[in-house]
Chain A
């Protein structure tokens, strides 16, 4: 079978690649249609997956949209030309009147010696008339200019309104239409859509090609806190309308699955975790010192690791602040990317703990576990900003588990279920720096056994959090959908 996956990702989620490779191993042909930047190659192979990137400037406008653009453009050009012509004409006429008035004044001035008094009066009269004419012409010029400006605004507003009306009746926006064109060209046997922003494309493709559609919700998208309330409402409406069109719905954990089922009144989606497949060369039992070596951290110091995007919404500021309240042998390593890193650095230097807060650039995905395993504990401090983060199941959770790294997590449902349920680490409500400090101190408390007390559980149960188990569920979904 040919499976086409559609994703809005530019940086392709590992989950997508895991799924694609598993399906390829089952003998399917995999094509991944992703978003891209104009400087990225349009076509490339990612492992065994054929990937096409469609840059956002490759939108395909409908004929009616193109017609409106062209009408608008041409009308504005015509108005500009007419306006210029009118201005020139008015200036010309005004100039002519001025010259005539000047001529009359000079003529009258010449004869002034003969009939001085009469002529002075006539001269004044001519001057007055010229002033009036000038004022009238200025007024006409201004009125014409305003008229043309009004006309241009009218054209812009009318075409804008027409475009809005056209788009109201057009099922897909221009970029999604371009994606749909490519999807239809590939003529898949199954469409697999990753996340809500491209679900409309998947549904349109399904209707056009009459093939099954799988929707893989990596997030509870309409609940993302960065959306405005209007956007959130629209996304909810969209998801509710489109979900019944999907042959199968997958999501990342049971909490989101239950919530989707409850809110949209659909059968509970299949849960496929963001689990990972450790590289075959990776052995967490083998002690690694990568972080210590690179950041010059002494062997008797403890390393707490945060890895991933330095986002201002992830509680990282409180985490850094908390470092001044924990024993001095604990060092925090922030490994990842993002502009917020500079702010974090400043918080550390203001608190005079720069020597215990270290920054490391993000490492390639295939090296990540080797770095992760060289820390002593990991932390996931996400605050519950919205329903989506409340029910989050971040990749780093699975990375920490595979690296056998004891974990400190904020008290969120899925994180609690895994970390407290399996006794993989410390679960505490992380709101203030003091909460963070307490959690960190508890994790590293030697009287409780330090992070080592969680190692045995991690070693024994990590297998259940590897991709293999999720892969079986995915193949079952495909089996169901294709029969």
Chain B
């Protein structure tokens, strides 16, 4: 079985999942557009540098290679014709299996979210982050896809029949990076006095960064030795060093479900704070999910409480590592996707 992953490498997942499936004995490969400053791993990269040329390169690739591929696994509502999705009916006609993996703004209905959930990123995010082809992607996936995955359970409601496929992390590779990162900060760690709170706002408005900034200022005014470290605009390797330097992590405060940053911080053994929506906690997340929930209103109090109970952090960190091994290990996720590839009709 030959599996294609791409062309959008959201949080490096396309590259990572292709590698994990390959390790599991499947002929998978990733062929992705460049991922900007993050420089996520991908087996092959699109060389073109303008959108039109990129599209042409992908179409040429499809013309040359499509007949050799059995499964197409697309990300973020983009296919080989990018947001147009014009190739999907053709791939289906050729008898190929097509899977979609959605990650958030590519299918989230901002109107619905604003209306239904009092805490949400869509109300505050301006300009709107919704993908322009959102409705089309949902329609095309609903009609043609053999399987639809979503990265977080809050997205399940936006596309009927979708499956929650937790964000994968390559723990073996990550351990290496983590050890290197931890070793590089060992010395500075011994000296430091401040508690470093790390936060990786790929998009400040979506993550509710300004609420966190206000909370940290409040804690500083109260005399807590805290420092906020915003991890942004740097390569993944550099970001990991920053993660390693930190003591506690705060993921998003407006979405209701944890993201890739939370997974990586749990894998680092750091306690993680994040806004978890009550209904998702009840229906989808395990009871022992090692994430501390906080809202934009109480983030300062939650942080203060966490700092007061600093002695619990190693335990929470250990639980986080175990949770990631059970739920997010790319080997676990790859086994799931492979099962779906085979069982899909």
Chain A residues with a Cβ under 8 A of chain B: 2, 29, 42-43, 45, 50, 52, 185-187, 189
- Contact A29 B126, beta carbon cutoff 8 Å: no
In the docked arrangement, what's the CA distance between A2 and B112, Å? Answer: 10
Using an 8 Å CB-CB cutoff, how does the interface string of B98-119 with A read, 1 for contact, 0 for none?
0000000000000100100000
- Which residues from 121 to 168 on chain B have a C-beta closer than 8 Å to any C-beta of chain A? 123, 126-128, 130, 132, 135
Question: B134: nearest residue on chain A (CB-CB)?
Answer: A187
CA gap between A215 and B127 in the complex, in Å: 25
Pick from B111, B114, B127, B135: contact of A52, CB under 8 Å: B127
Q: Is the CB of A185 within 8 A of B126?
A: no
Which chain B residue lies CB-closest to A43?
B127
Cα-based distance from A42 to B127 in the complex (angstroms): 9
- Please tell me which one of the listed residues B114, B123, B126, B132 contacts residue A43 in the complex, with CB atoms under 8 A apart: B126
Chain A residue numbers with a CB within 8 Å of B132 are 185
- The chain A residue sitting closest to B125, CB to CB, is A50
A-B interface, 3 closest residue pairs, ranked by CB to CB distance from nearest: A43-B127, A50-B126, A2-B111
Bound CA–CA A347/B209 (angstroms): 58
Please give, as numbers and ranges, the residues of chain A lying within 8 Å of B114 by CB-CB distance: 2, 29
Q: Is the CB of A186 within 8 A of B128?
A: yes
The answer to whether B127 touches A29, judged by C-beta atoms less than 8 angstroms apart, is: no
17 further A-B contacts with Cβ under 8 Å, apart from A50-B126, A186-B128, are A2-B111, A2-B114, A29-B111, A29-B114, A29-B123, A42-B127, A43-B126, A43-B127, A45-B126, A50-B127, A52-B127, A185-B128, A185-B130, A185-B132, A187-B111, A187-B135, A189-B111
Give the distance to chain B from A363, nearest Cβ to Cβ, in Å: 29
Shortest B110–chain A CB gap in Å is 8
For residue B280, give the distance in angstroms from its CB to the closest CB of chain A: 23
The interface residues of chain B lying within 8 Å CB-to-CB of A43 are 126-127
* Inter-chain contacts of B127 with A (CB < 8 A): 42-43, 50, 52
Bound-state Cα–Cα, A186 to B132, Å: 9
Give Cα A42–Cα B135 distance, bound, in whole angstroms. 24
- Please give the distance in Å from B125's CB to the nearest CB on chain A: 9
* Chain B residues with CB under 8 A of A45: 126
| Chain A residues within 8 Å of B128, by CB | 185-186
19 A-B pairs, CB-CB below 8 angstroms?
A2-B111, A2-B114, A29-B111, A29-B114, A29-B123, A42-B127, A43-B126, A43-B127, A45-B126, A50-B126, A50-B127, A52-B127, A185-B128, A185-B130, A185-B132, A186-B128, A187-B111, A187-B135, A189-B111
Q: How far is the CB of B119 from chain A (nearest CB, A)?
A: 15
A29 to B123, CA, bound (A): 8
With both beta carbons as reference points, the residue of chain B lying nearest to A29 in the complex is identified as: B114
Among residues of A, the one whose C-beta sits closest to the C-beta of B111 is A2
Closest to B135 in A: A187
What's the Cα separation between A50 and B130 when bound, in Å? 15
Among B123, B126, B132, the one with the most A-chain Cβ atoms within 10 Å of its Cβ is: B126
Contact pattern, B 35-71, Cβ under 8 Å of A = 1, otherwise 0: 0000000000000000000000000000000000000
Contacts of B135 in A (CB 8 A): 187
Bound-state Cα–Cα, A113 to B127, Å: 94
Contacts of B126 in A (CB 8 A): 43, 45, 50
A478 to chain B, nearest CB (A): 16
Q: How far is the CA of A186 from the CA of B123 in the complex (A)?
A: 13
Beta-carbon nearest neighbor of A184 in chain B: B132
Query: CA–CA, A2 to B123, complex, Å?
Result: 11
Residues on the B chain within 8 Å of A2, using CB: 111, 114
> In the complex, A185 Cα to B130 Cα: how many Å?
9
| Residues of chain B with a CB closer than 8 A to A42's CB | 127
In the complex, A31→B7 CA distance in Å?
32
Task: Give A479 Cβ to nearest chain B Cβ, in Å.
Answer: 17
In the bound complex, how far is the Cα of B126 from the Cα of A50, in angstroms? 7
Chain B residue, CB-CB nearest to A189: B111
Residues of B within 8 A of A50 (CB): 126-127
Chain B contacts for A52, CB-based, 8 A? 127
Closest to B132 in A: A185
Q: Which residues of A contact B123 (CB under 8 A)?
A: 29
Which residue on B lies nearest to A51, using beta carbons?
B126
Please measure, in the bound complex, the distance between the C-alpha atom of A185 and the C-alpha atom of B132, giving whole angstroms: 6
B142, chain A: closest CB distance, angstroms: 18
Residues of B within 8 A of A187 (CB): 111, 135
Complex Cα distance, B290 from A287, in Å, reads 64
Most buried by A among B111, B123, B132, B135: B111
Report Cα–Cα, A186/B134, bound state, in Å. 11
Q: Which residues of A contact B130 (CB under 8 A)?
A: 185
**Chain B's nearest CB lies how many Å from the CB of A192?**
16
Nearest neighbor of A44 in chain B, beta-carbon distance: B126
Closest to B127 in A: A43
CB distance from A60 to the nearest CB of B (A): 13
Tell me which residues across on chain B come within 8 A of A186, comparing CB atoms: 128
> Given the complex of chains A and B, what is the CA–CA distance between A175 and B119 in angstroms?
36
Contacts of A189 in B (CB 8 A): 111
B132: min CB distance to chain A, Å:
6
Alpha-carbon distance A15/B126, docked complex (angstroms): 23
Nearest CB on A from B186, distance (A)? 44
Q: Whole-angstrom distance from the CB of A37 to the nearest CB of chain B? A: 18
Write out the residue numbers on chain A whose beta carbons fall within 8 Å of the beta carbon of B111: 2, 29, 187, 189
Q: Which residue of chain A is the closest to B114 with respect to CB atoms?
A: A29
| Bound CA–CA A449/B128 (angstroms) | 58
- How far is the CB of A46 from the nearest CB of chain B, in Å? 11
